[in-house]
Amino acid sequence: MTINCKGQLIDLSTPKIMGILNITPDSFYDGGANNTNYSAVKKAGQMLEEGASFIDVGGYSSRPNAPDISVAQEMDRVLPVIEVLVQEYPDVIISIDTFRASVAEKAVQAGACMINDISAGKLDDTMLDTVAKLGVPYCMMHMQGNPQTMQAKASYEDICKALILYFSERLKMARAAGINDLIIDPGFGFAKTIEQNYALLNKLDLLQLFDIPVLAGLSRKSMIYKVLNTSAGNALNGTTALHMIALQKGAKILRAHDVAPAMECLTLLSYLS
């Protein structure tokens, strides 16, 4: 349950928080909020102060039906922010949220030390070899299709069995490529109906059979606000409720927009241990 980031061993037997830093104009919750270096650094500093162990920087919106952007656009969004973050916070552990190997490589060269890939290498055939070459931890998520097509692919005989088969195959390929530090993300909201999301959350502990850390990305997603008949902006309370469930079912990283409330979940969980 340890991963190596820039020579620092991070113990994930104690859960950690990954703060979300979207450098996009169209993300479902905070699109446009961090689109300048100043606003991005200010947000990252706040999340670090509140207890985030990782900052996940993304420049490609993966919300359902999000428009496709070029590699150059994605790099133009994320690379300057990563460079400034490293200057301001030399010890920051930055994850680059991308499914493109070329973006991942440039981001690591700029100072990122983890790759968070929504496609587990399926949208870029060179990703696994690139991650192995870079020698950084790799988070692989479950998704069918791509952000433009995924909601039409939410068809499974058994969602949990489908994920176990998927990760068995993708982890085998990642290890064969030479990737040592691996994390899996079940991909809540990606090619899944609301009912499938909750069935998956209810049995999230089944993923512990892989004996590697599980990341849960639940923050303010539609599986929360649609059930509560509200909006992403009013979904913090529901997010906190599901965060605690995910932790109790074995999640080791919570990927969150709101770090302080997520940290409170970790504190309270420690009293149940």
Rg (CA), the chain: 17
Catalytic pick from 16, 43, 77, 255?
Answer: 255
Those residues whose C-beta lies under 8 Å from the C-beta of residue 265, and which sit 6 or more positions away, are 240, 243, 244, 247, 254
Tokens of 238: 């529901």
Q: Strands 8-11 and 2-5, how do they pair?
A: antiparallel
**SS3 label, residue 21:** strand
Catalytic pick from 100, 221, 226, 252?
Answer: 221
d(C-alpha 12, C-alpha 15), whole Å:
6
Amino acid at 193: T
Annotated active-site residue 220? The verdict is no
Amino acid at 31: G
Those residues whose C-beta lies under 8 Å from the C-beta of residue 36, and which sit 6 or more positions away, are none
Strands, DSSP E only, in the chain? 2-5, 8-11, 16-22, 54-58, 94-97, 114-117, 138-141, 182-185, 215-216, 253-256
Annotated active-site residue 63? The verdict is no
Q: What is the DSSP string of 23-65?
A: --S--TTTTTTT-SHHHHHHHHHHHHHHT-SEEEEE-S--STT
Do 206 and 164 form a contact (C-beta atoms < 8 A)?
Answer: yes
Catalytic residue annotation: 221, 255
